[in-house]
Structure 1
Amino acid sequence: MLACGSWLVPVALADSTVLPAFSEIQSLDPSSSWEPLEFPKIDQHSRYELVTESGVQVIRAQTAGGASGLIARLDLTPSDSLILSWRWKVSNVFEKGDAREKSGDDYPARIYVAFAFEPDKAGFFERAKRKAVEVVFGETLPGNALNYIWANALPKGDIVPNPYTDKTMMVAVNSGTGQVGEWVTVERDIVADYRKAFGEAPPPLVGIAIMSDSDNTGETATAWYGDISLSAGILPSDATGISRENPE
């Protein structure tokens, strides 16, 4: 259980920045504001559906050699502190999972936090490459990202670059099999995490996604995601994030 409390104040968010609660949405269609997040060259997708766990509606994600997610688009400029809170549960971790290797870059559960691209900080070739991709796919690409992951080999608390790009930093908030099959609640100060990962204050937040993927390892897993929320506030001074067992 959590040894010391956190101090959270709800953020007064505009309509475009509210994260729709999984416990309240009626379906996973465009009206829910959670859109499919799919990737070029990956034809096999993970499966997401609304289910009831202990009387509460949550998302169940099933992955078996594929990858995709669900994303809520945002437009939010963080202040000095912005707390991201959620609860999740996984059926297993991936035996071949390793956040430091391309072959192991899979996670039974992850929360993907995307930030706005800052062209004034990018080189010419990076800007040109991004523009070409945007023309092909018809969508503005985000910039840096934080990925909160349920890791296998990466120790809890470690932050490492994604093996495909240093624009994405992987943050192990859970690791290993110790809490497999249990609901775990996580709270992270994404402003503090961004500063630690990238060495500067974050730009506007443009999206939050859930994703369960196994396209690199070819393994299978099921994950459950509870409501995700944003709050202004501070966490205890001895940690930027905490994980605790969530009693049912």
Structure 2
Amino acid sequence: MQGEGQASFVWRRVEGPPVCLSWRWRVDVGPPPTDLTRRGGDDKALSIAVGFAGWPPDASVWQRTQHRLAQARVGNGRTLPRSVLMYVWGGTGREPAFFATPYLAGLGRMRVLRPADAPRGRWFPERVDLAADWRAAFGGEPPPVEEIAVGTDVDDTASRVDAAVEAPALAPCG
């Protein structure tokens, strides 16, 4: 993915139980460390977002209403996930293990796997246990996975990004 001063993502629909997700990624050029907890200053070189079909156990009426409004804006061509885990290359590296994104009406949790100042120009493999991470982020039993999105976001810092993700794969853990 390449860009300058913009945010973009690609997504694919997947269906199945929450298993392990693996991939490799690299950043050659990316934004400086930013505060990922605040809207309007939360740039990141790469993110892998996993959308789930079910609500977090403590999802409020307000959150569900916000979701319905967002779904109405998107239309019938795409079903928005009801909860999201986002794995990030960006931020400062001092963030808590899982924290609420400043978007998604509290239905998304973010986890920094590589801070913005991680070494550039080399591939890093990642593997996450989606069920364990959903439990740690939201509590309760995880719902089925319904989509995976890869994104970049450099609009707040007007930075350049040149980054790649390869070989995303869902497979049983263990």
SS at 1:233 equivalent? coil
Deviates more, 1:209-218 or 1:90-99: 90-99
Q: Is the 8 A contact 2:42 2:156 kept in 1?
A: yes
Amino acid at match of 1:222: D
SS at 2:26 equivalent? strand
Which of residues 85, 97, 119 is equivalent to 2:22? 85
Amino acid at match of 1:198: F
Q: Is the 8 A contact 1:92 1:177 kept in 2?
A: no
Query: Could you state the TM-score of these two structures normalised by the residue count of structure 1?
Result: 0.62
Name the counterpart of 1:14.
none
Unaligned 5+ segments in structure 2 are none
Deviation at 1:232, TM superposition (A): 0.5
Residue 142 (structure 2) pairs with residue 205 (structure 1) = no
Structure having the larger proportion of residues in strand: 2
Name the counterpart of 1:108.
45
Name the counterpart of 1:192.
132
1:85-116 per-position Cα deviation (integer Å, ceiling 9, x unaligned):
00010023422522122232221111010111
Separation in structure 2 between the aligned mates of residue 95 and residue 120 of structure 1, nearest angstrom: 35
Q: 1:127 to 1:168 in 2, by over 3 A?
A: closer
Name the counterpart of 2:74.
137
Query: Could you state the TM-score of these two structures normalised by the residue count of structure 2?
Result: 0.86
Amino acid at match of 1:170: M
Name the counterpart of 2:31.
94
SS at 2:31 equivalent? coil
Deviation at 1:126, TM superposition (A): 3.6
Q: Is the 8 A contact 1:150 1:172 kept in 2?
A: yes
Deviation at 1:157, TM superposition (A): 7.3
Name the counterpart of 1:230.
170
CA RMSD of aligned residues (A): 2.3
Residue 100 (structure 2) pairs with residue 161 (structure 1) = yes
Name the counterpart of 1:150.
89
Name the counterpart of 1:240.
none
Deviation at 1:136, TM superposition (A): 3.1
Q: 1:129 to 1:102 in 2, by over 3 A?
A: closer
Q: 1:135 to 1:158 in 2, by over 3 A?
A: closer
Deviation at 1:177, TM superposition (A): 2.5
Rg (Cα) greater in structure: 1
Deviation at 1:198, TM superposition (A): 0.7
